[in-house]
Structure 1
Amino acid sequence: MNDALSPADYIRSHIRTVPHWPAPGVMFRDITPLLANPRVFRVLIDQFVHRYFDVKPAAIAGLDARGFIIGSVVAYELNVGFVPIRKKGKLPFTTVEETYELEYGSATVEMHTDAVKPGDRVVLIDDLIATGGTMMAGKKLLERLGAEVIEGAAIVDLPELGGSNKLRDAGLPLFTLVNFAGH
């Protein structure tokens, strides 16, 4: 790691911006370069592991699909369980589901009914917070099953889209590593 850069700046320098994807005017923040570089990936994971090491959550819940990548490695490093929150129709056992609004339409996520127990303290992880819909749906699912979501975490926050404010207003503390202006 370049000694002149903070871990957040180092991570930011490895996030690729793809203009006009998936739609005109969108500046897509691509984390795949972080995953491809073992040194950057380790710095990234260490930021989350160090934050939650003494918190001792019962589990890390990751949102489909990039939250699976980060969340499962963080869970492994913390020696806690990993809970996948998937898009509807992907889980084989009894599920609970939550539908949320997208810019154009809606989406549904679900998790197994036995994924958490009442009173479990859980950290909810995704790669990015935009409008906050996916993370809010994950929070509601976990809480419906009796878990306490102690914090929502993401690599990237896009504050101009309002999701982080919406989540905080709903009582969810947030931890993000980098912010990007614009969409």
Structure 2
Amino acid sequence: MPLAAAIRTIPDYPKKGILFRDITTLLGDARAFRKAVDELVQPWSGSKMDKVAGMEARGFILGGAVAHQLSAGFVPIRKKGKLPHKTVSISYELEYGTDEMEMHEDAVSPGDRVILVDDLIATGGTAEGAIGLLRKMGAEIIAACFVIDLPELGGAKRLEALDVPVRSLVTFEGH
């Protein structure tokens, strides 16, 4: 089964005109979930990777599985105020304003090789913020990996302009 077939599309969510790509159906299908993780890992299998960073919240699920497969540590990147220890934060642009994300200040060390993982890349603002945060701490971003790319929104191109290779498993047209 192609991965796209395991992803549910919900029309008009969270607002009219949006086609929400729901990966919970993919996560609930053991074969599709394993295939997605295997395909996200494949280019780096056998390579030395220090950490996998996942963005809240679906990036935690996928990133944890990818980190396990690569024998790498996992770094949660969260919304401001959710982590209990000393943190570093970064402000980033959204379509309609700004937001902040953070990670523990000891989550990565200078020179760590890191892969960023999330479920979907749309405009790329959140991923760009995460890359800035990781680079601020001296990490080397090897790639940003997503199950879904919405190419019309330009997020992958935005990350590639930052010299971050982008890997996506499925593309969908539209928003």
TM over 0.5: yes
Q: In structure 2, which of residues 74, 89, 93 is the aligned counterpart of residue 97 of structure 1?
A: 89
- 1:159 is aligned to 151
C-alpha displacement at 1:54, in angstroms? 2.3
Runs of 4+ in structure 1 deviating by more than 3 angstroms, as ranges, are none
C-alpha displacement at 1:84, in angstroms? 0.4
| Equivalent residues of 2:40, 2:167 under 8 A apart | no
C-alpha displacement at 1:51, in angstroms? 2.1
- Cα deviation per residue 1:19-76 (whole Å; 9 max; x = unaligned)? 1111111111110001001111111111122222123210100011100000001111
Where 1:101 maps in the other structure, the secondary structure is strand
- 1:128 is aligned to 120
- Alignment TM-score, normalising by the size of structure 2: 0.97
| Equivalent residues of 2:40, 2:169 under 8 A apart | no
Distance in 2 (CA, whole Å) between partners of 1:181 and 1:134 is 20
Gaps of 5+ in 1: 3-9
- 2:132 is aligned to 140
- Alignment TM-score, normalising by the size of structure 1: 0.93
C-alpha displacement at 1:105, in angstroms? 2.2
- 2:72 is aligned to 80
- Segment of structure 1 superposing worse, 24-33 or 45-54: 45-54
C-alpha displacement at 1:170, in angstroms? 1.6
Where 2:6 maps in the other structure, the secondary structure is coil
C-alpha displacement at 1:77, in angstroms? 1.7
Gaps of 5+ in 2: none
- 2:29 is aligned to 37
Distance in 2 (CA, whole Å) between partners of 1:105 and 1:137 is 13
Q: Aligned-residue CA RMSD in angstroms?
A: 1.0
